[in-house]
């Protein structure tokens, strides 16, 4: 487990003994002033951002668990923070902790952007490893630890003792020594981020172990005869495709058909909302057009000529999945929905989602063929979750939307947010072509996981698999050698 997880877990433990969730206990008992950190992360939320450092001050926004906020200044038990679009507000620091530096995969990232596979030892997934020159390279110490062997370093050489095998390898050289005899690897081990990586096949053969490559799962499977334990690299699920990702680093923890282009239904609105919050001016008023008001499918109940802020339209698009609200946002930002779609596709390419083609702001696919992949939707969702305004939208269970007609209650149609402990978002969808689709995120022990599910047969199965894959995602996160 990463140090950041342990530190944040400590803050959570302290918070559990000093406050009840949210702001309810603030003012009822004294709290120690928070460290003067430049960035804070919400560890007990959702948390209200207020106009002034007082519980009586108006609420400007709500930020969800895991949100990272830039601090302008501290005042007692409060901190003034910067929101998207230049807005500022105040949060109670007792529900936050100093934010860790953004995680990185370091020297491994360039390799993983080209090609990667997975390593599974005795049913225990050690996670993604780079594929270089058609060979899967794996971490020597991590694989040897999983096998129950011993690893030593002498004179810049790595030594492995496993059962009756004594193997010595040298980074940068294909020459190795096995039980005193010279052997040759088909590729030289190398060092990245202070870890020695070896080609899996000659390494396993030297230890007298059989390794099988599963091309469908892109997984090297190694068995030593030990009991099966842990979570495997590709959990079975009745879906057309799925992807499990570590939100902090973007490391893919597990996948099934991640690059198959499919319909994604209303998960399209993740991009619509992202563009809206990046555009800013969330307090601007929008007059709903006839074209927006008559959109079919799910609705936020908007009427022609009704006036709402951009912020309220965002709630209407993301909670009840209002196609009317999504269209109104598109028209406000770009003038026409067609012009907005060009912005959507341009932003998708910028984020690396190169297999995605959007045709509208809502995800309706009656007359068009909007396509994306589980991988692309994971990339888009990960980036969107880094925006505090976006996180505040998708992590809520309900919201009272205020317009020129009055107030109306909006319920989040994403059941994952309302039922899964630590859920932070993101968006659900359904059409006849797409089936049931879902992008979800959750926070646990200082870390966040994103799961994309495409093509479930029914709603109950969709949410059942979402909870199961999320649980396995956190387990895979703990098992992944790159995150340790």
Active site positions, annotated: 266, 269, 321
DSSP three-state, residue 352: coil
Match 């802020």 to its residue by tokens.
309
Match 């960035």 to its residue by tokens.
39
Q: Distance between CA atoms of 31 and 428, rounded to whole angstroms?
A: 39
**Ramachandran region, residue 445 (left: φ > 0; alpha: ψ -120 to 50; beta: rest):** left
273, 386, 415 from 66: Cα distances, Å: 19, 9, 20
Planar angle of CA 442, 312, 87, nearest 5 degrees? 80
Q: How many Cα atoms within 13 Å fall on the side-chain side of residue 468?
A: 15
One-letter-per-residue 3-state SS of 251-272: CEEEEECCCCCECCHHHHHHHH
Q: Does the N-terminal peptide bond of residue 179 adopt cis geometry, omega within 30 degrees of 0?
A: no
Q: Distance between CA atoms of 261 and 377, rounded to whole angstroms?
A: 11
**Ramachandran region, residue 335 (left: φ > 0; alpha: ψ -120 to 50; beta: rest):** left
Q: DSSP characters for 208-235?
A: T--EEEETTTTEEEE--SPPP-S--SS-
């Amino acid at each position: 487990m990463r140090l950041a997880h342990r530190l944040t877990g400590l803050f959570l433990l302290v918070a559990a003994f000093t406050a009840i969730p949210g702001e309810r206990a603030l003012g009822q008992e004294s709290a120690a002033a928070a460290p003067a950190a430049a960035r804070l992360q919400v560890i007990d939320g959702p948390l209200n951002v207020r106009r002034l450092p007082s519980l009586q001050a108006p609420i400007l926004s709500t930020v969800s668990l895991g949100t990272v906020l830039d601090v302008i200044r501290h005042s007692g038990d409060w901190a003034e923070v910067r929101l998207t679009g230049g807005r500022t507000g105040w949060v109670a620091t007792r529900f936050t902790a100093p934010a860790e530096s953004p995680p990185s995969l370091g020297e491994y990232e360039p390799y993983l952007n080209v090609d990667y596979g997975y390593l599974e030892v005795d049913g225990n997934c050690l996670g993604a490893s780079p594929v270089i020159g058609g060979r899967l390279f794996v971490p020597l110490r991590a694989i040897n630890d999983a096998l129950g062997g011993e690893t030593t370093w002498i004179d810049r050489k790595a030594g492995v003792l496993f059962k009756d095998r004594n193997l010595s390898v040298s980074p940068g050289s294909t020459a190795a020594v096995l039980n005193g005899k010279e052997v040759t690897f088909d590729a030289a081990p190398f060092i990245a981020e202070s870890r020695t990586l070896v080609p899996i096949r000659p390494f396993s053969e030297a230890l007298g172990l059989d390794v099988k490559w599963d091309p469908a799962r892109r997984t090297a499977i190694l068995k030593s005869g030990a009991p099966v334990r842990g979570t495997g690299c590709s959990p079975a699920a009745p879906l057309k495709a799925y992807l499990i990702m570590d939100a902090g680093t973007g490391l893919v923890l597990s996948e099934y058909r991640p690059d198959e282009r499919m319909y994604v239904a209303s998960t399209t609105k993740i991009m619509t909302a992202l563009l809206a919050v990046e555009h800013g001016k969330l307090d601007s008023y929008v007059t709903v057009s006839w074209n927006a008001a008559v959109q079919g499918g799910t609705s936020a109940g908007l009427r022609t000529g009704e006036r709402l802020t951009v912020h309220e339209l965002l709630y209407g698009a993301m909670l009840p999945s209002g196609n009317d609200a999504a269209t109104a946002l598109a028209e406000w930002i770009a003038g026409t929905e067609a012009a907005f779609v060009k912005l959507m596709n341009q932003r998708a390419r910028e984020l690396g989602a190169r297999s995605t083609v959007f045709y509208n702001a809502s995800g309706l696919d009656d007359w068009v063929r909007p396509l994306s992949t589980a991988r692309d939707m994971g990339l888009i969702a990960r980036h969107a979750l880094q925006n505090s305004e976006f996180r505040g939208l998708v992590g809520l269970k309900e919201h009272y939307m205020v317009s020129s007609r009055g107030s109306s209650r909006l319920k989040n149609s994403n059941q994952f947010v309302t039922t899964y402990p630590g859920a932070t978002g993101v968006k659900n969808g359904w059409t006849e072509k797409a089936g049931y689709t879902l992008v979800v995120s959750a926070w646990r022990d200082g870390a966040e996981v994103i799961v994309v599910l495409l093509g479930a047969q029914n709603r109950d199965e969709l949410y059942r698999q979402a909870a199961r894959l999320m649980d396995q995602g956190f387990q895979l996160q703990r098992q992944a050698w790159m995150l340790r």
